[in-house]
Structures are given as structure tokens and as C-alpha cells.
Amino acid sequence: MKKLKLGTRGSGLALAQADLAKKCIEDKFPEYSVEICVIKTSGDKDRVRSLVAFGGEGVFVKELEQALLEKEIDFAVHSLKDVPDKMDPRLSLVGFLKREDPRDVLVSNGKLLKELPIGAVVGTGSPRRVLQLKSLRSDLHFLNLRGNLPSRLEKVKNGELSAIVLGAAGLNRLGLESSISEKFDTNQMTPAIGQGIVAIQTLKENAEICRIISEISDKVAAAAATLERRWMNLLGGGCRVPMGAILEEQSNGSYLFTAYLADPRDGRSLRRSLYFQNFGGDPLEFENFAKAYIAECRKKKIMLPFEAPGAEALAAFWNAEH
């Protein structure tokens, strides 16, 4: 039996995602055995400071990518939303597991958003979530929250926070869906690009691994990941400003692409949607939609990702928020 080394972060959620990938491979290819190798990333080593305080982009993937380049592991699993728009040209995202529920959710001991007390304190480490929630409840206060899922849930349970906002995918994968108090529609809270998708990364030169991963990759998740990350690329990258995008199938068989962008300086935002008859749509139509979206952002004086001064824009956002 041939052994493959799978690199992952060591959090409960990361290990659950690694187990999913391991099971998919071993079920499809019983001649292979997958060994899970835990690698500590920059984001795991510092659980106190805001992510933007020590780089922002790629803090949960850099060490895993280095392990791939040094051939210490054969492939790595990531939450797609953590993967920057640019990576080492020797690496590639070669497969995607079936998408979990991509929506953002409220955890608040059973209360709906509208039922939270006036001035309630809500925990989240995401400016994207903060600004969208403010459009729904302008009276709320926000705490920049980090830590693993159980520790964040405990802050609500013990009354330290009125609520927290998380991704449904992580809670579902850890069997914690009973803690969800409310699920937000994607036109209220547009998710982060790739939210709910597990991406598998390897060296482009490793043909054997590329073949194996392509066999277990979910075609629907792959198409959504490609389109959403294409949007990130057209707008000039992610992680520098609050942005989200999602492709969803509609009940009539069409597909809806929804994009959101906010200016961290003053909260001005733009949400627009585009319908596709076929999954993935027409590339030219999509690029024209992006051009029109960028033009409207400029008209509204909303800062675009490529105009943002690195992580400084988000760092300034949290300083102002506090």
C-alpha cells in the first residue's frame, strides 16, 4: 500500500476537513493510505492579535505551502476562503470537496438578530460581517474575536458576548449545528469568496497526486470556486477590503452570482447580482459585469481591493471600530 502525506492545520475544523479528504481518497483509491500531518501556521501560533496585525493574507496557508515546496507533504487541505488570490507558480489548487452550507450564521443562545438587546456586543473577526450586520442593526457593537470554534461558542454561552457570527460550514462539519440561532440569506450577508469549500493544493509537477485529487474533486464546488476566485482576481485581490461573492443554483435551474464590496473607511458598500442560465455563465458577460461593478464603485467612491494600502486599511477599520 502506498502512503500519501496530507498537510493540514491542527484546529478541530481543519482536522475534520482533512479527514474528509482522507476518506474520499481512501474510498476511491483503496491502494493508497493517507497520513495526516499537522503543521502549525502563523495564524495558529498567534491567537491573540488581529489577523491584519501580522500580515492578514495567507497566514493560515504559508507554512503548508512551504511544506509542499520542500516535499515534506504530498498535498495540503485549506479552507478556500483562507487562500490568497496569488500563490507560488509551482503550486496549484487541483481539487475541491463538496461545498458545505456557505451562509453566515448567528449564534446567540436562541435569539434572532432582531431580538438582541440594543447595543449588544457581537463577536467576529471579519470586517465583511461587521459592515453587513451594521446595515441590518446599526446599534450593535463589535468585538474583534479570534480563537477556535469551541472557545468562541463558550463566550456566548457564559454571557461574555450577546452573540457571535460564524460560517455555517464549520459548525456543520464539527457537528455543532444545534448552536445556530439564525441563518442569514446571502443577499443580507454575502459570504466570503470560497466560503464552505475545502481546497486541495499540491505541486503542479506531481502528476500522480494531481490525477488522484482530480478524481475526487466535486465539479459543482470546482466551478463555483473558479468563478468566485476569478471575481477576486478581476477586482484586484482579496483580504485587503471587506468583500464577498457567491455562485448559487436557483430553484428554476438558473444560477445567481452575488458580489459585495465595502469600503473599510466609511462602510459604503455595493451589492450586485448576475443571473446565469448555465453554471459558470458566459466569461465575456462576467467580465463586463465586473467592469460595470468597478465603474459603479468608482462613482460611489468605494475603495477597490487593488487601491487598498495592504492590511493597513483593515487595521485602521478595527482601530476605529474599537
Classify 165 as helix, strand or coil: strand
How far, in Å, CA of 302 to CA of 74, rounded?
42
How distant, in Å, are the alpha carbons of 74, 154, 162, 270 from that of 207?
Answer: 11, 44, 50, 42
- Dihedral-angle region of residue 156 (phi above 0 means left; psi in -120 to 50 means alpha; beta otherwise): alpha
Number of Cβ atoms within 10 Å of the Cβ of 33: 13
Q: Which of 82, 85, 104, 263 is catalytic?
A: 82
How far, in Å, CA of 215 to CA of 85, rounded?
24
Do residues 126 and 194 touch, judged by C-beta distance below 8 A? no
How far, in Å, CA of 122 to CA of 164, rounded?
5
Instruction: Specify the pairing of strand 75-79 against strand 2-8.
Output: parallel
Intra-chain end-to-end CA distance of the chain, in Å: 55
Q: Residue length, the chain? A: 322
Which value, in Å, is the radius of gyration of the alpha carbons in the chain?
19
Q: Which helix (H) or strand (E) holds 42?
A: helix 42-45
The verdict on whether 282 is a catalytic residue reads: no
How far, in Å, CA of 171 to CA of 179, rounded?
8
Catalytic positions: 82
